[in-house]
């Protein structure tokens, strides 16, 4: 940082050349903001995973081997509670045909076009379960119902156990050339189709779920947050600033800093190629909140100096002289905190951290460059007061803390220990469907889907036989069937889709539909012939490419699950791996993958990577404080009240919530940089009193409260209010992050007011005792 004389000369130049400063500011802001044209909302959940994420790599490898499982599920509920009526089945037939019109569709599956097989003499008959031309009389309806409710490939996948809900699943192959348009195009068509059917057929209800709908929900959540939360934040900030600063000029100047900082952050993000995702969509709200702090400190001191009788320019020069170092330190430590998010395994949080860091740097530059020039030109009226008449409340608070320092320090330590003891109650639990609250249609429809038909939680396996054509090996099929049976016995499992169910049915068909032959073929050549005959009989779009690879060495095995916690999901996968190892010999490779497994693993990985990021940020912040405060002891001690708020916050979270998800893994690093701000400002005033004014520790504490206490309180209130706005987000990652951050910032203010000052005074007392002891020893030796 520049010397005091250098800061004074700089401040004098800024206040004496306001028009040049404002023109330069506008040029720089607009140059950065023009990058906003490169910003776009992402519509792909895979943005939450880095390109080298092992679960993503495994999933993409599986999709290349078979087909993608991006889908739209039309969930059809007849109001009479019975799918198996002529009217409803005709609707399902029509919806199945119309499903092929969905953009980029490559496959449509329903009970209507399910390829049912049965023996007709020596021939194998393969036809739609619900025939197009044949009349649906009572006998035909009963047969269709019996087959559907007993077919393993349909039950709890496309038809509910009781036959009251059914599904039409449209698989799409997105080109990937313009994802921002492709997903909304599919969703818009699907919604229009569903609405048209419900209007045409009032006897049914249609809900929509599936991966494509989830992708779109991420985009819609981002847009909703930016359109609703940012305006709310602006209104709350204006009200708060108006009440605290009590003046138009200061409020207007701070508002411009907020707007300019957001424009710089978002525009630079556009230049860097960052997409807008639900986490990064909270950038404007966070920048808005954090950017205020610097301006408030400068303005509070500015108004304070004017009340003491200084004229406007002199007051601003003095405010910059006093605040330049603490404002710079507060900004750089906040930047370090947000940059620690670069260690996250989740790219949207990396983007969020970088954009907020850029916004914080912009707010610092604007606060010490643009704000002084702007305030110089604006009319400012303050009531002249005597130096000793202001901030009476903070003076009383300082005196209270000085007089009760021992009780406060030990009381705070006790509170910290108690809250920290509740941290182990937190359990890592990411339920990706629950990333959206009940105000999001996708969440409501997906919950209905899971409760009434099937599930969105899926584990995919590519089970390798180890040889070309090996899926026809009876031993391999036997292991496959045993694995399917084991999964079906697990309470979390809704449905298992396995190639062996087809082979069992074909074996029965080829033996005159004798039920005793409902098992895997016992001869490899025979099994291969059955499979070839079946594949040749399948119509276009309903082949087995989604289940069998090209050389028939591996098959896709899909398990559909109840919506469940991360820990339960990983425990189930581990049980499966243990069972495979102990009970199979012919399955060469079997690792669970898919969207569900990707989200299940990312939480723990992110916590581990963020521990490293937070540690590095802590080291950097400590080094900056030690250097800037010119005291190793004070620099290290200052970190204590900055670390305990996060620990206390997670303790409180353990008491009232008990679940830590993906977003909360970045909170410690993020808040570390924010909560340091108040500590920096308090210590800078405390040390100024000790070094320049030669005040005692007790007097220096009261001086610090008098000069910066109100600004600390003001900025903390603004920060808490700003982050609480995020708790209103429909996207629960943002809501949880905002709520916990607000709690930690509030606890940090309590620590800075009631723990840091007693701690400093205690250290000073120890130092004085040591000095007095040394003097006594010296005097005794001299005598």
Distance CA 253, CA 363 (A): 12
Q: What is the 3-state secondary structure (H, E, C) of 675-735?
A: HHHHHHHHHHHHHHHHHCCCCCHHHHHHHHHHHHHHHHHHHHHHHHHHHHHHCCCCEHHHH
Nearest CA among 228, 219, 178, 224 for reference residue 47: 219
Look at residue 128 and give its three-state secondary structure. Answer: strand
Q: What is the 3-state secondary structure (H, E, C) of 533-554?
A: HHHHHCCCCCCCCCCECCCCCE
- Between vectors from CA 495 to CA 494 and to CA 501, what angle results, nearest 5°? 155
Look at residue 256 and give its three-state secondary structure. Answer: helix
β-bridge mates for residue 463, sequence order: 555
Q: Where are the alpha helices (DSSP H) in 151-282?
A: 179-200, 211-245, 248-271
β-bridge mates for residue 457, sequence order: 561
Distance CA 417, CA 332 (A): 30
- Between vectors from CA 380 to CA 374 and to CA 384, what angle results, nearest 5°? 140
The pLDDT of residue 772: 46
**Half-sphere exposure (CA, 13 Å, Cβ side) for 563?**
16
The pLDDT of residue 663: 75
Distance CA 601, CA 594 (A): 11
Tokens of 729: 């987000």
**Half-sphere exposure (CA, 13 Å, Cβ side) for 779?**
6
Q: Which helix (H) or strand (E) holds 105?
A: strand 105-109
- Specify the pTM: 0.84
The pLDDT of residue 3: 54
CB neighbours of 781 closer than 8 A, spacing ≥ 6?
A: none
Tokens of 87: 């009217």
Greatest Cα-to-Cα distance within the chain, rounded to the nearest angstrom: 123
> Over the chain (783 residues), what is each successive 10-residue block's mean pLDDT?
75 95 96 94 87 90 88 97 96 96 96 93 88 88 95 96 97 86 94 97 96 91 85 84 79 92 96 92 88 86 87 93 89 91 92 96 96 93 56 86 93 94 86 86 94 94 93 95 96 95 94 93 94 91 91 95 89 94 88 90 84 86 85 82 89 89 81 84 88 90 90 85 88 88 93 92 70 45 45
Distance CA 482, CA 583 (A): 9
Residue for token digits 């081997």?
65
- Taking the alpha carbons at both ends of the chain, their separation in whole angstroms is 48
Nearest CA among 682, 684, 669 for reference residue 716: 682
The pLDDT of residue 769: 52
Tell me the residue length of the chain: 783
Strands (E), 487-546: 493-497
> With the C-alpha atoms ordered 489, 492, 498, 504, is the resulting torsion angle positive or negative?
positive
Instruction: Work out the angle between the directed axes of helices 667-691 and 732-754 (0-180°, nearest 10).
Output: 20
Residues 66/149, Cβ–Cβ less than 8 Å: no
Residues 253/375, Cβ–Cβ less than 8 Å: yes
The pLDDT of residue 104: 95
The pLDDT of residue 710: 85
Residues 295/253, Cβ–Cβ less than 8 Å: yes
> With the C-alpha atoms ordered 133, 76, 446, 175, is the resulting torsion angle positive or negative?
positive
Based on DSSP, count helices (H) and strands (E) in the chain, helices before strands.
26, 11
Q: Where are the alpha helices (DSSP H) in 4-137?
A: 4-16, 18-33, 54-65, 86-99
Residues 216/43, Cβ–Cβ less than 8 Å: yes
CB neighbours of 553 closer than 8 A, spacing ≥ 6?
A: 464, 465, 466, 467, 468, 469, 470, 471
Q: Specify burial of residue 399 (Cβ count, 10 A radius: 0-12, 13-18, 19+).
A: middle
The pLDDT of residue 768: 58
Distance CA 480, CA 503 (A): 11
Neighbours of 142 (CB within 10 A): 11
Q: In angstroms, what is the C-alpha Rg of the chain?
A: 33
Q: Specify burial of residue 21 (Cβ count, 10 A radius: 0-12, 13-18, 19+).
A: buried
Phi and psi at residue 15, to the nearest 5°: -75, -20
């Amino acid at each position: 940082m520049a010397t005091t004389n250098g800061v004074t000369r700089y401040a004098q130049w800024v206040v004496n050349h306001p028009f040049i400063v404002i023109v330069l500011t506008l040029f720089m802001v607009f140059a950065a903001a023009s990058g906003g044209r490169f910003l776009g909302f992402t519509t792909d959940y895979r943005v939450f995973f880095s390109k080298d994420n092992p679960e993503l790599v495994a999933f993409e490898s599986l999709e290349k081997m078979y087909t993608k499982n991006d889908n739209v599920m039309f969930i059809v509920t007849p109001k009479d509670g019975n799918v198996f009526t002529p009217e409803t089945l005709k609707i399902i037939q029509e919806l199945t045909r119309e499903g092929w019109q969905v953009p980029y569709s490559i496959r449509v599956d329903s009970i209507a076009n399910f390829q049912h097989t049965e023996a007709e003499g020596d021939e194998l008959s393969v036809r739609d379960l619900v025939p197009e031309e044949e009349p649906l009389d009572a006998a035909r309806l009963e047969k269709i119902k019996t087959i559907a409710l007993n077919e393993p490939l349909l039950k709890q996948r496309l038809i509910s156990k009781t036959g009251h809900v059914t599904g039409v699943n449209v698989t799409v192959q997105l080109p990937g050339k313009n994802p921002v348009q492709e997903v909304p195009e599919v969703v818009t068509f699907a919604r229009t189709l569903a609405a048209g059917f419900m209007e045409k057929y009032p006897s049914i209800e249609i809900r929509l779920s599936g991966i494509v709908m989830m992708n779109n929900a991420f985009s819609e959540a981002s847009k909703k947050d930016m359109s609703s939360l940012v305006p709310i934040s602006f209104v709350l900030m204006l009200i708060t600033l108006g009440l605290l600063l009590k003046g138009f000029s200061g409020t207007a100047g701070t508002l411009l800093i907020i707007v300019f900082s957001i424009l710089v952050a978002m525009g630079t993000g556009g230049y860097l190629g960052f997409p807008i995702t639900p986490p990064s969509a909270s950038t404007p709200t966070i920048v808005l909140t954090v950017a205020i702090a610097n301006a408030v400190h400068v303005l509070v001191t500015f108004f304070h100096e004017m009340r003491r009788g200084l004229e406007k320019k002199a007051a601003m020069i003095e405010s910059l002289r006093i605040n330049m170092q603490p404002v710079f330190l507060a900004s750089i430590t906040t930047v370090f905190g947000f940059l620690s998010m670069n260690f996250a395994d989740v790219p949207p949080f990396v983007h969020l951290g970088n954009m907020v860091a850029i916004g914080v740097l912009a707010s610092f530059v604007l606060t010490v460059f643009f704000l002084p020039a702007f305030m110089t030109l604006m009319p400012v009226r303050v009531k002249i007061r005597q130096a000793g008449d202001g901030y009476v409340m903070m003076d009383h608070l300082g005196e209270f803390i000085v007089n009760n320092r021992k009780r406060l320090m030990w009381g705070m330590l006790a509170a910290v220990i108690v809250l920290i003891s509740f941290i182990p109650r937190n359990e890592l639990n990411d339920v990706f469907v629950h990333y959206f609250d009940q105000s999001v249609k996708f969440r409501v429809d997906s919950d209905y889907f899971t409760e009434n038909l099937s599930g969105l939680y899926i584990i995919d396996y590519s089970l390798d036989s180890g040889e070309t054509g090996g899926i026809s090996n009876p031993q391999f099929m036997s292991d496959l069937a045993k694995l399917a049976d084991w999964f079906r016995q697990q309470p979390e499992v809704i449905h298992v889709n396995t190639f062996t169910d087809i082979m069992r049915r074909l074996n029965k068909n080829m033996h005159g539909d004798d039920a005793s032959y409902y098992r895997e073929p016992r001869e490899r050549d025979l099994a291969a012939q059955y499979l070839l005959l079946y594949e040749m009989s399948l119509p276009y779009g309903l082949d087995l490419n989604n289940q069998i690879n090209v050389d028939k060495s591996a098959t896709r095995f899909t398990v559909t699950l109840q919506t469940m916690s991360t820990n339960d999901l990983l425990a189930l996968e581990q049980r499966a791996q243990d069972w495979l190892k102990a009970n199979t010999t012919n399955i060469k490779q079997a690792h669970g993958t898919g969207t569900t497994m990707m989200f299940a693993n990312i939480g723990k990985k992110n916590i581990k990577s963020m521990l490293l990021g937070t540690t590095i940020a802590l080291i950097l912040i400590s080094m900056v404080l030690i250097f800037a405060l010119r005291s190793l002891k004070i620099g290290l001690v200052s970190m204590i009240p900055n670390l305990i708020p996060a620990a206390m916050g997670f303790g409180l979270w353990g008491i009232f919530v008990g679940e830590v998800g993906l977003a909360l893994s970045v909170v410690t690093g993020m808040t570390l940089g924010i909560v340091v701000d108040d500590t920096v400002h308090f210590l800078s005033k405390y040390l100024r009193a000790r070094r320049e004014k030669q005040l005692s520790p007790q007097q220096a504490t009261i001086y610090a409260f008098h000069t910066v206490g109100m600004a600390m309180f003001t900025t903390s209130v603004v920060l808490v209010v700003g982050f609480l706005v995020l708790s209103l987000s429909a996207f629960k990652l943002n809501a949880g992050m905002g709520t916990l951050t607000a709690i930690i910032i509030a606890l940090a203010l309590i620590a800075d007011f009631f723990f840091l000052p007693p701690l400093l005074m205690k250290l000073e007392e120890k130092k004085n005792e040591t000095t007095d002891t040394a003097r006594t020893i010296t005097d005794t030796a001299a005598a």
